[in-house]
Amino acid sequence: MYGRRRWVLVALFATCFSGCGRPSAPTSGPTSVADLGPRRPDPQLPLFDGFEGESVAPFWRAGDAGSGRYAAGAVAVTSDHARSGTQSVRITVREGDVRQQGDDGEDNERAELDSGKLTFAGRELWYGFSMLVPPEFPIVSTRLVVAQWKQTGIKGGPLIAQRYRSGRHHLTIRDWSDPDGERQEYPLPAIIPARWNDMVYRVRLSASADGLVEAWVNGERVVSHRGPTASATGDDQVYNKIGLYRDRMVQPMSIYFDNYIAGDSRAAVDPSRFDGDRRAEQQHAADGAARRR
Ligand SMILES: [Ca+2]
């Protein structure tokens, strides 16, 4: 672990050395941040990938780590589209990729980037990313998850899942106050093909009533959920994945992602914060490296 972190520092310092600017002023949104409470600096944060390098950032877990996350060639940095800078990452799932059988007995397949485990006890985590669904994307009834948060040490579905199915964009949250393990569902704004959507999530994972999930899409808060958001019997670790997780089907699917950030405030993770300011991206990467020293 130490070796990997040191490698990250070297890579990010090299980026900074090529020219650091000051970060742009964070964009402000309609949501109050007055109730965020005190924050403790987390040496693991921020994590940032603007996908401007030759490959994805070193903090992402390898495709074949653990039970497998993506097949060879499924994750590609590309200049096809960019939310900021000149590149993004294209994630593609094809039939049979990292095939597994889900708890429901269904065959599933995946191509997902996993940002690694974070300890969540008693604190908030913020995540941001921008995603673009290309015009040729198949609109089908097959189950599809494009972002998910999972708790280690428990079985079953994700704590939180952003889903896109039959053209319906929505968020599901496991309901730990329900002994039957049902989930609550929230609609998200419709996805318009070929347009970037800026996603921001505020998450407090807790087995108690102080749990919360809030979501913003393009600056508008669209989900505000309160109540238990994690299992009391699971581990105190969460991991977030972006990409494509679906039931088995023949036709491939690709989605583009840019400006992935895990941080400790809304301003820190807002994918729009780099609008028109490439140098701010470099500074943000350098800030993350400095905090991990
Ligand atoms: Ca980019």
Distance (angstroms) between ligand 1 centre and the Cα of 281 equals 9
According to the model, what pLDDT value does residue 31 have? Answer: 33
- Tokens matching residue 6: 């040191």
Structural domain spans, the chain: 47-273
Retrieve residue 276's tokens.
């028109």
ω into 46 cis (within 30 of 0): yes
How do strand 75-78 and strand 88-93 relate by DSSP bridges?
A: antiparallel
Tokens of 261: 């950030």
pLDDT at 38: 47
Dihedral of alpha carbons 253, 185, 271, 151, sign: negative
Distance in angstroms (rounded) separating the CA atoms of residues 149 and 239: 6
pLDDT the model gives residue 182: 86
User: Tokens representing 33?
Assistant: 């941040």
Give residue 43's pLDDT.
76
Residue with tokens 């987390």: 42
Could you give the C-alpha distances from 79 to 156, 168, 198, in angstroms and in order? 36, 28, 19
Q: What is the CA radius of gyration of the chain?
A: 18
Distance 37 CA to ligand 1 centre (A): 31
Which one of 1.20.1540.10, 2.30.300.10, 2.60.120.200, 3.30.565.10 gives the CATH number of domain 47-273?
Answer: 2.60.120.200
CA–centroid distance, 89 to ligand 1, in Å, is 8
Ligand 1 ion: nearby residues, β-carbon < 5 Å: 50-51, 82, 84-85, 87, 258
Q: Could you tell me the pTM of the whole model?
A: 0.83
Output the CA angle 274-277-282, nearest 5 degrees: 80
User: Distance between alpha carbon 44 and the CA centroid of its chain, in Å?
Assistant: 15
Q: What's the confidence (pLDDT) of residue 39?
A: 52
| Distance in Å, CA 30 to ligand 1 centroid | 25
Question: Mean pLDDT for each 10-residue chunk of the chain (293 residues)?
Answer: 39 35 34 42 86 96 81 95 97 93 83 94 93 97 97 92 98 86 93 97 95 97 96 94 97 98 96 79 70 61
